[in-house]
Amino acid sequence: MFNVSRKKINKLEEIKLIPVVLLVVMAGVISGCEVDDDDVVPLPDISYVGLYHASPNAPSLDILMENGRINYYPLRYADYTNYLNFFAGERTMRVRPVNASNVVIDTTFTFETGAAYSIFYVNEYEDIQALLLEDEEVAISPGESAVRFAHLSPDSPEVDIVRSMEDDMTNLVEASSYQDVSEFITVDSGVQSFNVNLAEGGDEVLSIPDVNLRSGGVYTIVARGYSSPPAGNNNNLSANVLVNN
């Protein structure tokens, strides 16, 4: 089962994380030179990092590694990049609104070679933060999937995550508070439905029906948005299913 280690990165706060740089491997041919087959150029050490925009009143974002932007398209609210290949080591990552000069997150990350990470941009825009998780490997048997749950709704209270199968209701996560991300939990693969219920009183606040979990798949189910959106904001409480593997 996946163990999840987590760090929170405050706005303009320096922290250890891994730099993100997309790798492009190019094969070059140099005419007129002899190349020794034994002269193998080693590939750079890389890490794998997924980025998710969960700040419900923040604009679309540009993500910069060192001083170069790494996202071709703006990272909009509820966008997920899947895992990107980043050079391992110590890297400086900055976040700013699209086409703006003001930096709202400025951090230094140290990423380990071969490790996988998830970065969630959380909180309301005025206090936007980067929440870092290290995603470790999960042991999954045939016919099973692994699921974890991320509570990223800033105005929602503690909730329980319930698997709903016909008349069988099973609590998978209890009393999850804002910015809690559970460990990965193994469940049967196939079509599954989940409910998000208030921890106090048990009222259902969100239904996540008919999630198709493939055998061996690893997923993060994110509850995001406002339970009571402010005026002019339409980002209501809803869910995303992110594919980790």
Share of the chain above pLDDT 90, in %: 76
Whole-number Å distance between alpha carbons of 34 and 47:
33
Q: Who has greater pLDDT, 147 or 6?
A: 147
Q: Who has greater pLDDT, 33 or 211?
A: 211
The yes-or-no verdict on residue 197 having pLDDT over 90 is yes
Q: What are the CA-CA distances from residue 122 to residues 4, 78, 105, 196 (Å)?
A: 17, 11, 11, 19
Q: What is the pLDDT of residue 10?
A: 43
Task: Specify the length of the chain in residues.
Answer: 245
Q: What's the distance, Cα to Cα, between the start and end of the chain in Å?
A: 14
Q: Which residues contact 101 (CB under 8 A, 6 or more apart)?
A: none
Mean pLDDT of 195-200: 96
Mean pLDDT of 39-52: 88
Question: Buried b vs exposed e over 109-129: b needs ≥16 C-beta within 10 Å?
Answer: bebeeebbbbbbbbbeeeebb
Whole-number Å distance between alpha carbons of 184 and 220:
8
Whole-number Å distance between alpha carbons of 44 and 89:
11
Whole-number Å distance between alpha carbons of 73 and 75:
6
Q: Are 48 and 88 in contact (CB under 8 A)?
A: no
Q: What is the pLDDT of residue 34?
A: 53
Q: What is the pLDDT of residue 136?
A: 87
Whole-number Å distance between alpha carbons of 65 and 18:
10
The yes-or-no verdict on residue 123 having pLDDT over 60 is yes
Residue-wise pLDDT tens digits, 203-227: 999 999 999 999 999 999 999 999 9
Q: Which residues contact 146 (CB under 8 A, 6 or more apart)?
A: 1, 2, 138, 140, 184, 185, 186, 187, 217, 218, 219
Q: Judge residue 155's burial from the number of C-beta atoms within 10 Å of its C-beta, 0-12 exposed, 13-18 middle, 19 or more buried.
A: middle
Residue-wise pLDDT tens digits, 66-121: 889 999 999 999 999 999 999 999 999 999 999 999 999 999 999 999 999 999 99
Mean pLDDT of 116-142: 96
- Indicate the class that CATH gives domain 140-245: mainly beta
- Please report, for the chain, the start and end positions of each structural domain, with discontinuous segments joined by +: 1-137, 140-245
Q: What is the pLDDT of residue 169?
A: 85
Q: Are 46 and 85 in contact (CB under 8 A)?
A: yes
Q: What is the pLDDT of residue 37?
A: 56
pLDDT band at 36 (very low <50, low <70, confident <90, very high): low
Q: What is the pLDDT of residue 38?
A: 63
